Amino acid sequence: MTDTMLQPDLSVAVLIDDDTLLLFGTCDRPALSGGIATANGEAAGRFDAHCWPREDGGHWLLAALRAPDAGRLQTARLAVDGIDGEALALPRLRAVKVNPWGLLSTLKEEHAAAMPAALDFLLRVLAPADGQPLSARLGKFLSAFVGHIARPEGFAEIFGRLSAGNGTMVQGWSSSLEAGRAEMLVETDACRFYRAEVGTVRRPDLPDTAWGVVAVVPAAEDAPEQIRRIFYRAGGRWCELELFAERTLLPDGVALAHLRDLLPRLNADPATLRALRRRITAVYEGHETVSRLEVPVCAALDRAIRVPGVGTLVTGWLLDPQRNVASVILHGPAFEAAIDGDWFRTQRKDVTEGFLHDGRFAGRLPADRHDHGFLAFVPESAGLPEDAAFHLEIALTDGGCAYLPVHPVAPNAELVRHLLCLIDINNPAAESLIERHVGPIVQAAGRVSPDAPAAPVFAMGRTVATPNVSVVLPVTDGREDVDLHLARLAIDPDFAQAEILVAAAAGSSDRLALTLRRAASFYKLAVRLVPAPQAHDAFEAMAAALPHAAAEHVLLLSTAVLPTTRGWLSELARAAAAHRKPAMVSPTLLYEDFSIRFAGVRVEGDRPVAQFAGYPREWLKERQPVAVPAATVDCALLPKRLIAEAGGLTAGFVGAEYKSADFCLRLGKAGHTCLWVPTVALVAVDEQARNAAHEYWRQTGTLVDRWAFDRHWATRPANTDLRVSTR
């Protein structure tokens, strides 16, 4: 610190806005350029100063002191600790003014030559970031300041807003505004400081000393018609673009097309041209613009599938042999997500063959490389409208970009099967594809699939006014021998007051109705046929039939299960009643050789496993009903309301393999129990469904279901009533 503290003499103090004081006076030597202002020994704010020589020796001082509620400092003892160790003692501020015009008048009349440098100083320390408005008083002061020193050197003739947040275009002519980046001060109702991007263009209607200019003022949000004055800095001095008396105001959106047409004629350095090109392409206009690209890049979307509140899956292809694409981004309402970071690339030989001889791609495409396809799932937060608009942005390395409209559709069975066929089960990355992309949308699609249109229910045989149980018998193949099951039920007194709902899924025989009608009449049973053409497995078929069940209890019964004795339903009902809590009750199921097919479930690790499966029946020692983690829907008696409380039978799985265990675990999570009754045994034929189609999508669907089951039940809900038998 110097031995002698600098003590300036201040003649003017102006409170230019709530947090800024402008100080003007003299000092013996140049004041420190900046430092921390203190008030009564405590840090108060920031001090910046600008000095220029006086003719009679010493220096003039113009300073800005910025501190919260700066007006309170006029009674404080002020000092400045400079960044270079020098200190400055400020006199007490007397008669702080709020009108800056006296200061401006003094500068104009006595210091005209110093005003350009003084203005640069004020803009440097007081102007906020590009496009942020100056305070009202400061804005008017700076606008008047620059208006006094700026010389008119051109006209602004055409104005137009490019798009919200993308800036305003100004076109005209000038004799000093050069191409590149230019500092601009734009006056509207407020005053804002910008760094504009400027291109020049030759105009035959101008003299050789002038040229056409096109400037894009970034982030300018004010309507073009509100612009009153435009100042710019050129060659170290400030100039003005006067407003043409009959200026043209382009409608929103038209300015963008106008600038696009001008761009090929504009002169500027490469960086500025890239910035202008980015301005043009940074606006999505509602249609594709990939076809306009001059670089060898082409892309298309195959489909987009969206579940509101869950996310969107997009599939398509992108051809980019020279790596001109920097990123691919999905845009939606108030969100954007880059998809190329972890998208899944797929083989698209058809794309290679289609562009191999295209002029833009000839010689650039390896004939043996086909990984042009992509598949990506983008999650979304809840709250986006169902009709939200989306588009895909393809950003290029040169700053340009192109767009593809995205029109998502709701998932349906056909789309889900198509997605499942995209999974290559031999690909080591198949599990990653399922976990990251296909799994979330497929499972969500299963949860929100639209309800199938209501189908007529056909009553056959006699009518039971108040059935004691509703038997739900799903038929999912081309079998016609359901009359065998009806015969077994007809000879059992337990089913004398039962109704039998036969749920006919997709693939069931057209002759099934005739078979049922004859059997219902012959055996005097109450049968109702429930067509379920949208169902592809027993669970979906049963779910379609359940709304038509009239009894409080339902018996879910697979066509593979054949009752061999009478009275077994009563035994299941007694076991349920003795449990004193609502429960899903299943018997023992045996193969035709009387080995065990189902005898309850035990837990190994965190997965339920059928116990004693394949062992002789004699291995069973239990004689009392046992609470188990899962029963079996192949044969299960339970109150109908429990199914609704557990969330239904299907829960978004593709196939049937995991639906039974999932339903039972959801039942336990809802506070209910699964019971296995060892002493009741039925035969379950181990058969493949007739006319079963071994489509590829079913195989990959099983992989998706396994992922979904493991993810949902990674931590199985605790159940203190659970008791698991061990071998």
CATH number of the domain where residue 81 is located: 2.60.40
Residue 119 is assigned to a structural domain of this protein: no
Q: Is the pLDDT of residue 431 over 50?
A: yes
Q: What is the dihedral of CA 502, 505, 511, 514, to 10 degrees?
A: 20
What confidence tier does 687 reach under pLDDT thresholds 50, 70, 90? low
The verdict on 514 and 614 lying in the same domain is no
Structure tokens, 206: 């101008």
The verdict on 474 and 529 lying in the same domain is yes
Query: What's residue 356's pLDDT?
Result: 87
Q: Is the pLDDT of residue 283 over 80?
A: no
Query: What's residue 580's pLDDT?
Result: 84
What confidence tier does 518 reach under pLDDT thresholds 50, 70, 90? very high
- CB-CB neighbours of 465 under 10 Å: 7
Residues 146-192: pLDDT tens digits? 998 999 999 999 999 887 667 899 999 999 999 999 999 999 888 88
Q: Which residue has the higher pLDDT, 610 or 723?
A: 610
| Euclidean distance between CA atoms 432 and 443, whole angstroms | 15
In the chain, the amino acid numbered 164 is A
| Euclidean distance between CA atoms 132 and 128, whole angstroms | 6
Q: How far is CA 324 from the centre of its chain?
A: 25
In the chain, the amino acid numbered 104 is L
Number of structural domains in the chain = 5
The verdict on 299 and 441 lying in the same domain is yes
Which residue range is the domain that position 222 belongs to?
136-281
| Euclidean distance between CA atoms 531 and 533, whole angstroms | 6
Residue 661 is assigned to a structural domain of this protein: yes
Residue 118 is assigned to a structural domain of this protein: no
- When computed from its CA atoms, the radius of gyration of the chain, rounded to whole angstroms, is 40
Of 299, 302, 275, the C-alpha closest to 288 is 299
Query: What's residue 685's pLDDT?
Result: 84
Q: Is the pLDDT of residue 423 over 60?
A: yes
What confidence tier does 1 reach under pLDDT thresholds 50, 70, 90? very low
Residues 648-671: pLDDT tens digits? 888 778 888 889 888 998 999 999
The verdict on 154 and 264 lying in the same domain is yes
Residue given tokens 């942005």 in the structure block: 393
Of 670, 661, 671, 604, the C-alpha closest to 633 is 661
Are the beta carbons of 560 and 606 closer than 8 angstroms? Answer: no
Query: What's residue 379's pLDDT?
Result: 94
Query: What does pTM read for this prediction?
Result: 0.67
Q: Is the pLDDT of residue 245 over 70?
A: yes
In the chain, the amino acid numbered 391 is H
Where are the alpha helices (H) located in 491-565, listed in sequence order? 512-523, 538-545
In the chain, the amino acid numbered 46 is R
DSSP single-letter state for residue 647: T
Residue 515 is assigned to a structural domain of this protein: yes
Return the bridge partners of 196, or none: 182
- Phi, psi angles (nearest 5°) of residue 491: -90, 0
The verdict on 359 and 319 lying in the same domain is yes
The verdict on 401 and 541 lying in the same domain is no
What confidence tier does 220 reach under pLDDT thresholds 50, 70, 90? low
What confidence tier does 602 reach under pLDDT thresholds 50, 70, 90? confident
Are the beta carbons of 674 and 668 closer than 8 angstroms? Answer: yes
Give the CATH number for residue 628. 3.90.550.10
Domain stops at, among 447, 475, 510: 447
Query: What's residue 290's pLDDT?
Result: 93
Give me the mean pLDDT over the 284-295 stretch: 88
Q: What is the mean pLDDT of the chain?
A: 87
Residue 30 is assigned to a structural domain of this protein: yes
| Euclidean distance between CA atoms 675 and 635, whole angstroms | 12
What confidence tier does 60 reach under pLDDT thresholds 50, 70, 90? very high
Q: How far is CA 323 from the centre of its chain?
A: 26
Q: Is the pLDDT of residue 724 over 50?
A: no
Structure tokens, 132: 């942020």
Are the beta carbons of 192 and 143 closer than 8 angstroms? Answer: no
Residue 525 is assigned to a structural domain of this protein: yes
**Cα angle vertex 549, ends 545, 554, to 5°?**
95
Are the beta carbons of 611 and 602 closer than 8 angstroms? Answer: yes
Query: What's residue 726's pLDDT?
Result: 27
Are the beta carbons of 645 and 596 closer than 8 angstroms? Answer: no
Query: What's residue 338's pLDDT?
Result: 95
Residues 545-573: pLDDT tens digits? 999 999 999 999 999 998 888 999 999 99
Query: What's residue 189's pLDDT?
Result: 83
What confidence tier does 688 reach under pLDDT thresholds 50, 70, 90? low
Burial of 677 (0-12, 13-18, 19+ CB in 10 A): buried
Give me the mean pLDDT over the 452-458 stretch: 72
Q: How far is CA 181 from the centre of its chain?
A: 35
At 697, which helix (H) or strand (E)? helix 696-712
Q: Is the pLDDT of residue 313 over 90?
A: yes
SS3 of 124-163: the string is HHHCCCCCCECCHHHHHHHHHHHHHHCEEEEEEEEEEEEE
The verdict on 204 and 155 lying in the same domain is yes
- From 218-222, 361-365, 413-417, 469-473, the region with the lowest mean pLDDT: 218-222
Domain stops at, among 559, 586, 620: 559
Return the bridge partners of 181, or none: 197
The verdict on 369 and 230 lying in the same domain is no
Q: Is the pLDDT of residue 399 over 70?
A: yes
Q: How far is CA 436 from CA 339, 426, 431, 708, in A?
A: 12, 17, 9, 12
Give me the mean pLDDT over the 98-120 stretch: 89
Residue 1 is assigned to a structural domain of this protein: no
Burial of 182 (0-12, 13-18, 19+ CB in 10 A): buried
Of 118, 175, 174, 169, the C-alpha closest to 146 is 118
Burial of 516 (0-12, 13-18, 19+ CB in 10 A): buried
Query: How many Cα neighbours within 13 Å face the side chain of 414?
Result: 3
The verdict on 520 and 660 lying in the same domain is no
The verdict on 476 and 328 lying in the same domain is no
| Euclidean distance between CA atoms 276 and 269, whole angstroms | 11
Give me the mean pLDDT over the 346-368 stretch: 88
Query: What's residue 722's pLDDT?
Result: 32
DSSP single-letter state for residue 348: -
Q: Is the pLDDT of residue 630 over 70?
A: yes
Query: What's residue 433's pLDDT?
Result: 92
Give me the mean pLDDT over the 364-390 stretch: 90
Q: Is the pLDDT of residue 519 over 90?
A: yes
Residue given tokens 């969500």 in the structure block: 444
Residue 723 is assigned to a structural domain of this protein: no
Residue 515: strand, helix, or coil: helix
Query: What's residue 694's pLDDT?
Result: 62
The verdict on 85 and 216 lying in the same domain is no
The verdict on 431 and 347 lying in the same domain is yes
What confidence tier does 445 reach under pLDDT thresholds 50, 70, 90? confident
Sign of the Cα torsion 63, 69, 71, 72 reads negative
